[in-house]
Amino acid sequence: MTWTLIIGAIVAYLLGSIPFGLILSRLGGYGDIRAIGSGNIGATNVLRTGNKGLAAATLALDVAKGAVAVLVVARWGPLAAAVASVAAFIGHLFPVWLGFKGGKGVATACGVLLAYLWPVGAAALATWLIVAVVTRYSSLAAIVAAVVAPIVAWFVSHQALPTAVVIVLAVLVLIRHTDNIGRLLRGQEGRIQLSRKT
């Protein structure tokens, strides 16, 4: 069982660590996405290139890798699924290929939650969409979704392990958005842009 969990964690981490934003941006001729905008490798920063299709592909693939990681490892049981959920997310945040400097993990967390505890994933996604559309702040949407997710997890599962997994993911999202929280409070946070600034 211990080896199963270790192997599952490694597989999930490696899947989660695939930097699709960086790969797609380079293939699309935009160079290193870390050199523009926020320096993040996620879909929101890819959108700053002005290529909506590339940003959408990054979003979809980041969601997919989180979901696939959980679904593959979940065959080994609920504990393995829980470990994979956290490992895949950590893989995106700290990918070995990029010197352990990854993205903020919102899309990957969504994929993980949709596969691990889908009602929580759906609630988090709906929350993100509503806040993002109303405010046009991607970071604020992520923060609110991170707060909502553990509450929904408890009401949906009534179990300690799934709720703990969601809390870990939520806390990591909030930690990764510390700078964004500061900018939001100062009124300096950038809004979602649907076209590249010139």
Q: What percent of the chain is modeled with pLDDT above 70?
A: 97
CB 192, CB 137: distance < 8 Å: yes
| Mean pLDDT to the nearest integer, 30-51 | 85
Most confident residue range from 29-33, 43-47, 101-105, 179-183: 179-183
Task: Please choose, from the candidates 114, 110, 174, 120, the residue with its C-alpha nearest in 3D space to the C-alpha of residue 148.
Answer: 120
Whole-model pTM: value is 0.90
